[in-house]
């Protein structure tokens, strides 16, 4: 093989990540994203268990905090579809970081904006 033919390798001939490894990465990181969702559900249950209610702004912030990990996982999964293992893992970690930052930001906004109503 000459240098010219080696540079023109069709995309289909490249080595792909095995399906079992793709699924394993998605499940492993999916559990971390699911924990983020469960964390928001736990916050809602705890605050309502204390007898507190939420204003309309509070509900919008909580729903946004609930959707953020799911959306982050979908974006990381979509962007990593045709990439290597390291790139996929990096995208999942970046998605987890974005999800955590959004959760903290929305939690602070919930307290500052008057989203929690004390009866």
Write down the domain spans for the chain: 17-117
Q: How confident is the model over 86-101, as pLDDT tens digits?
A: 999 999 999 999 999 9
Res. 66 pLDDT band, cuts 50 70 90: very high
Q: How many CB atoms lie within 10 A of CB 25?
A: 18
Q: Is 85 left (phi over 0), alpha (psi -120 to 50) or beta?
A: alpha
Tokens of 27: 């499940």
Provide the whole-model pTM: 0.81
Tokens of 94: 């970046």
Asked if pLDDT for residue 40 goes beyond 60, the answer is: yes
Cβ atoms of 79 and 12 closer than 8 Å = no
Res. 11 pLDDT band, cuts 50 70 90: low
Res. 115 pLDDT band, cuts 50 70 90: confident
């Amino acid at each position: 093989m000459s240098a010219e033919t080696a540079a023109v390798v069709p995309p289909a001939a490249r080595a792909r990540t095995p399906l079992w490894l793709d699924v394993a990465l998605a499940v492993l990181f999916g559990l971390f994203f699911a924990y983020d969702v469960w964390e928001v559900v736990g916050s809602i249950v705890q605050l309502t268990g204390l007898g507190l209610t939420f204003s309309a702004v509070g509900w919008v912030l909580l729903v946004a905090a609930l959707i953020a990990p799911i959306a982050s996982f979908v974006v990381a999964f979509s962007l990593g579809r045709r990439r290597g293992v390291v790139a996929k893992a990096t995208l999942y970690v970046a998605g987890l970081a974005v999800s955590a930052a959004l959760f903290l930001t929305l939690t602070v906004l919930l307290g500052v904006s008057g989203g929690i109503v004390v009866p």
